[in-house]
Structure 1
Amino acid sequence: MAETNISMVMEFILLGFSDLPSLQGFLFGIFLTIYTSILVGNGLIIVITKVTAALQTPMYFFLGNFSFLEICYTSVTMPRMLSDLWTQKKSISLIACAVQLGFLLILGGTECLFLTVMAYDRYVAICKPLYYPLIMNPQKCNQLVTGAWVIGIPIQIAQTWQIFSLSFCGSNKLNHVFCDIVPILKLACGDTSMSELSVFCGAIIFVTFPALLILWSYNNIIKTILKLPSAMGRRKAFSTCSSHLIVVGLFYGSAIIVYLRPKSSHSPGVDKVLSLFYTIVTPLFNPLIYSLRNRDVIAAIKQLRPN
């Protein structure tokens, strides 16, 4: 009889910002502006890296692909958030939630790998400049980009399947702005230790390990730069790396706090802010960081202006 009284959850209610009812219209306007800026800014980076002859180098090839990834990554969550704020219909089926989480994990893992590839590109350019054209040839660049897009797909699909193979038989109120791992696991019935372990392992593979590779790359880069005899050469070398380092700091800082901090320290409010940080703020500032700190990008943008 106890089992028959348990109602299995067939959909979630994304609470989002329902605790701020008077600000729904204002938040819709803010997020719509942010999403439009992400599409325009990253779209502009894609265009200039394709059409500008001076930007046909591995660094800008990776940047163009990274900007396309940022658009895809943000589009997994932002349209749904905007729809929920506009219509106030916050229900989402388990299948739709699983699809959103799956794409979020796949593209998030791809972003980690892309940042690692871009760090490797800077490492080769600064630490092995004579071998740079040989190592970062077009075939190698295409292989690195394809690998970054493909490697995480089977792992993240398996992780999503494992999470949604759990039973959800209690509350269906998901206290988050989109379907994410931590709030979903809070609603699961029974033992979630295996799922939590798989999440931790996934974070090690796609967050911690790439972060260590990035740190290794920049450790060698800094050592090489400090050995340069010319102060101007050192400034130029640091300038080519600073934009990437800022983007890495924004993305990894928030992602590590969300997925690798102790379970006892999680709170819905903090998780919402941090999740918005690595899904929205990084894609928003990516084109600004690269355009404001890179003379080649600024020159390419000026060339696109009508006379």
Structure 2
Amino acid sequence: MDLDIERLKGWIGREEASGEALTPALVARFNATFDRTSPSELGAIAPMLIHFCLGQPAVPTADLGPDGHPARGGFLPPVPLPRRMWAGGVLEVFEPIRIGGYVSRRSVIEDVSVKQGRSGTLCFVTLRHHVDCDGQHALTERQDIVYHDAPAPSESDASGTPHPAPEGAHRVQLTVAEPLLFRYSALTFNGHRIHYDSPYARTEELYPGLVIHGPLQATMLCQYAANLRGAAPRHFSFRSLAPIFGPGEMILHATPNGDAWKLWTSQPHGPISMEATAEW
């Protein structure tokens, strides 16, 4: 597909601001979703990457597209490719977000680019989020979004034989069930139907099952790194390499690499889905 890249680049520099107080109730729902515990009193340090759940656009249901995303052409450019995925990100943490604080986010579109991949045309949109908590700069995040073509039915059935992921020095196997996917979609106010609507995911976007959210995988890897090291990382980057589908089993892998940790996700006997690096 030929894209009007010059028109899409006209969105570079656009900004959007949002904000929300981080309540103990939201922290409790976040921890319940991930089967974890942490302090929940006012002033306590919040779980890492909970900011993914804050200040999300409250678009009326009538204004959603058929895939459950907000209709295109608002803050994000109107890329005319059917599939949209969170491809990766980089976080630099300066101060912790604290429970009870008001978390504000200023988002800027930094770049729009087009590439040709094995699956066809790819359009990358790069955002930069500046996140503050009660007026103190908490973190900076780069978010990479990729739009791409949907495969033809014959292509969607050609699975090939990808190399299985290596085993990490540390690993834990988790069950990713439909309630986890639904709850995380609700926490992040993410209406994308590929994460909770199995008939849509299979028949409209031609996936073999529900797609496990990229930020959900990133959150699990970041929490795993913090548990192994005993401290929250100050720098965390992640990149999606392949979709991972649920419901089913997912493995978190981690291996120390000098002062950093290399982490990745996979399904049993499957390829690497997401790779990440945590640094302190």
After TM superposition, the score normalised by the length of structure 1 is: 0.24
- Higher RCO (CA-CA < 8 Å; seq separation 6+): 1
After TM superposition, the score normalised by the length of structure 2 is: 0.25
